[in-house]
Amino acid sequence: MRSQHAAVASAILGLAVTAALVTAALAAHPSVAAASGAPAPAWMVKGQDYLAWDPSSVVNGKHVHYPSIGLQACSHGAMPCPATQRVTLPSFTWRLCGTWGTHVYGFSDYTQCLASTNRTLVFENYFRLKAAIDDGMFSKLKMGKALFDLETWAFSGNESKDPGYWIRRALELSHRHNIKLMITLGGGLGRCYSCMATAASHGAYKVSVQSQGAITLTVFKARVRASLKAVGNRSLLIVGLGTNTPSVHDVSLLRAEYAWARSAGVDQFWLNANNWQGRNECGNSQGGRGCPEIGVQFLASP
């Protein structure tokens, strides 16, 4: 089925058809799902993976920039991605963002949260979520979803030392304010399956497994299986697919991961095209930092 779909998508792209026909033909994942009778998958993406991003750091007293063009620009053929490439990206169910005006709530995503139905705040600790609530961000933007990105990094502080407790507190707070809270874990907590079980048992809206650290299909399967067992309900699980970690992931790996996850009944995915700054190993053939070309190729013909 995947090879047939890829051939059809490739043939359509080679024709001078109208934009409407391209959109209909390359809604890639929904058409695959429809053919199998399964529901169309839902997708999550960080704002700064989707859009152009130009972070910088100070090295020896000088600003050093690490620009990435993002999935959107690459899908329209922006250099260094192929200029002839035109791919309609799926409608992302959750578009992560981290700032509102001058307020920064999610340090891992500096994209502005705007009044849009699919905007989802990402934050790294309980107190950032509480600040967003106290500032009136959710009510003013009519935003009802957030992602708690708890990891072993400075952004989460001491909360990563007692993740179960802080997951419960974040969920209790979100429930009081009618916020649908997703839980994801990374770094040293990336395979904290007891944390995932705690999240599921305390009413998490979704639990995301950042399994994109796996560089083989075998490891990917093992991590997703363990996460499914911990969560106990595959409708709660969002599975991460990554273009690099920061080593490059070939598009064939993403396609194999996606196909296996779909066969296991998973229909929610987080696509990462992360710019790893100085550690990023993506070259021009992969679209530059973040490897957006790999992500676009995957979305065009999974």
Residue 302, pLDDT score: 61
Residue 85, pLDDT score: 79
- C-beta contacts of 80-87 below 8 A and 24+ residues apart: 80/284, 80/285, 80/287, 80/288, 80/293, 81/287, 81/292, 81/293, 81/296, 82/293, 85/296, 86/13, 86/22, 87/13, 87/26, 87/296, 87/299, 87/300
Is the model's pLDDT at 249 over the cut of 90? yes
Taking the CA of residue 283 as centre, how many other CA atoms within 13 Å lie in the half-sphere pointing to its CB?
2
Average pLDDT over residues 120-142: 97
Average pLDDT over residues 189-210: 95
Residue 37, pLDDT score: 56
Is the model's pLDDT at 17 over the cut of 80? no
CA 190/CA 207 separation, integer angstroms: 12
- What is the C-alpha R_g of the chain? 19
Q: What is the DSSP string of 220-283?
A: HHHHHHHHHHHH--GGGEEEEEESBSSSBPPHHHHHHHHHHHHHTT--EEEEE----GGG----
28-300 maps to which CATH number?
3.20.20
pTM: 0.85
Is the model's pLDDT at 243 over the cut of 50? yes
Q: What is the pLDDT of residues 42-92, one digit of tens each?
A: 999 999 999 999 988 777 888 888 899 999 999 999 999 987 778 899 999
Residue 189, pLDDT score: 86
Residue 277, pLDDT score: 83
Is the model's pLDDT at 34 over the cut of 70? no
Is the model's pLDDT at 225 over the cut of 60? yes
Q: What percent of the chain has pLDDT over 90?
A: 71
63 membership: H or E segment, kind and range: strand 62-65
Amino acid letter for position 141: L
Q: What are the residue boundaries of the structural domains of the chain, listed by start?
A: 28-300
Q: How confident is the model at residue 244 (pLDDT cuts 50, 70, 90)?
A: very high
Residue 29, pLDDT score: 36
Is the separation of the CB atoms in 86 and 65 below 8 Å? no
Q: How confident is the model at residue 32 (pLDDT cuts 50, 70, 90)?
A: very low
Q: What is the pLDDT of residues 159-178, one digit of tens each?
A: 999 999 999 999 999 999 99
CA 292/CA 77 separation, integer angstroms: 11
Please report, to the nearest 10 degrees, the dihedral formed by the alpha carbons of residues 58, 59, 65, 70 taken in order.
Answer: -90
CA 150/CA 243 separation, integer angstroms: 21
Give helix 163-176 / helix 126-134 axis angle, nearest 10°: 20
CA 179/CA 26 separation, integer angstroms: 33
Burial of 127 (0-12, 13-18, 19+ CB in 10 A): middle
Average pLDDT over residues 286-293: 96
pLDDT mean across residues, the chain: 86
Is the model's pLDDT at 220 over the cut of 50? yes
